[in-house]
Amino acid sequence: MGTAIVSLLMILIAMGDSPATAHEREQVQVLFQHPLPNVEGKKIVAVSVTYPPGGKSLAHRHAASAFIYAYVLSGTIRSQVDDNPAKVYHAGEGFYEIPGSHHRVSENASDKESASLLAVFIVNAEDHPLTIPDDAPAPQ
């Protein structure tokens, strides 16, 4: 197990992330995906995003066709989409992103408590990846 941890740390460092930075990033888990039977060529994908205290996502865009509804499950999430002002959302609140949005800030608003949200994508069935960090090359 120790060898596996060292290998993971070496990969993260090679990718430009320090172990501390990797620990502060979000964890994303696909919970559900299914073709929309009444909308040809579209699918619905639900993901959970969990932020450790002080954790954040890199600035990013989503697949070009993606309409997203995000619902805060726990904690507080600070979000800034496009040039709108950043806003803090509490558990039970939600926001959406229209196709082509630039998600400039997505982070845990607390440095003491974890936070999580449910993001539901309506997206073209062939679109992937769903999230593209600003420093990543655009999908072909």
What are 66's two structure tokens?
């993606």
> Is pLDDT of 126 > 60?
yes
List pLDDT tens digits, range 28-62: 999 999 999 999 999 999 999 999 999 999 999 99
User: Cα dist. 39→28, 46, 122, 129, 132 in Å?
Assistant: 26, 17, 10, 20, 25
CATH numbers and ranges of domains, the chain? 24-130 (2.60.120.10)
| Nearest CA among 98, 131, 120 for reference residue 45 | 120
